[in-house]
Amino acid sequence: MKKLFVIGDSISCYYGKYLKDLLNGFCEYDRKGGNHKLENLDDCTDGLNGGDSSMVLTYFREVLKKDFFHPDYLLLNCGLHDVKKHGETLQIPPEQYRENLNQICDLATQNGINVIWARTTPLNENSPQISQGETARYKGDIERYNQIADAVMLARDIPVIDLYTFTKNLGPDIYLNCTDTVHFNEHAAQLQASYIAGAVSVLVQ
């Protein structure tokens, strides 16, 4: 049975529990912070959250050194944390994002791991304006960083699961609450998991 390992943001933490069940008997499922933790590297959401692309790269370099880590496929996403704006400054600038993705993919290839990329999900455009001085995200940055990732994956012939468009087409009543800008309710997470499971079942042979 093939092994699938997930590194993703908090959205993957929501759909992940459903995805694990949907893939049961088809491929082995594990994720960052799932059956293991790496000392001094895990962060937020009890180590499940991959964070931004620099954090993913750091984590991936370290987990590759571990004897337990031998996945056949890596279901990968990072972007929501990269586009955080602290004032006028993006957490991870566009060119650094591109370079991080290329390095992650290089490491995967060098270690015989097949990457499956999941596009970053849309923001809740109906949520209230984030007050000045707080961390903010913007629709245009999500779209721009998805385009950067698209180009990286296309150049490498890496399959892409378009979770952005799928989620956007689910309608407006999919977010966790009226003030949350990024997270989805349980029903939406189940639909996302089903969509991803269908794509993975075709890609994982």
pLDDT tens column, 169-181: 998 889 988 778 8
Token output for 73:
């496929």
Domains in the chain: ranges and CATH = 3-203 (3.40.50.1110)
- Any idea which of 18-22, 37-41, 106-110, 124-128 has the lowest mean pLDDT? 37-41
Token output for 129:
């304006």
Residues of the chain above pLDDT 90, percent: 77
Amino acid residing at 67: D
Task: Choose between 132 and 39: higher pLDDT.
Answer: 39
Provide the phi-psi class of 147: left if phi over 0, else alpha when psi is between -120 and 50, else beta.
alpha
Rg, Å, the chain Cα set: 16
The pTM of this model reads 0.93
Give yes or no for residue 45 having a pLDDT over 50: no
Distance CA 137, CA 121 (A): 12
Mean of pLDDT values over 11-17: 95
Give yes or no for residue 11 having a pLDDT over 50: yes
- The pLDDT, as a whole number, for residue 134 is 62
Task: Choose between 179 and 148: higher pLDDT.
Answer: 148
- CB atoms under 10 Å from CB of 131, counted, come to 7
Secondary structure (DSSP) of the chain = --EEEEE--HHHHHHHHHHHHHTTTTSEEEETTSS---TTT--SGGGT---SHHHHHHHHHHHTTSTT---SEEEE---TTTT-EETTEESS-HHHHHHHHHHHHHHHHHTT-EEEEEPPPPP-TTSPPPPTTS-B--HHHHHHHHHHHHHHHHHTT--EE-HHHHHHTT-STTBSSTT-SS-B-HHHHHHHHHHHHHHHHHH--
Amino acid residing at 128: P
Task: Choose between 94 and 137: higher pLDDT.
Answer: 94
- The pLDDT, as a whole number, for residue 128 is 63
> Contact 59/7 with Cβ under 8 angstroms?
yes
Q: How confident is the model at residue 36 (pLDDT cuts 50, 70, 90)?
A: confident
Mean pLDDT of the chain: 91
- The pLDDT, as a whole number, for residue 132 is 46
Token output for 48:
């499940």
CA distances from 166 to 57, 85, 110, 136, 179 (A): 27, 25, 31, 23, 22
Distance CA 182, CA 176 (A): 8
Give yes or no for residue 129 having a pLDDT over 80: no
Q: Which of 50-64, 126-140, 145-159 is modeled with the greatest confidence?
A: 145-159
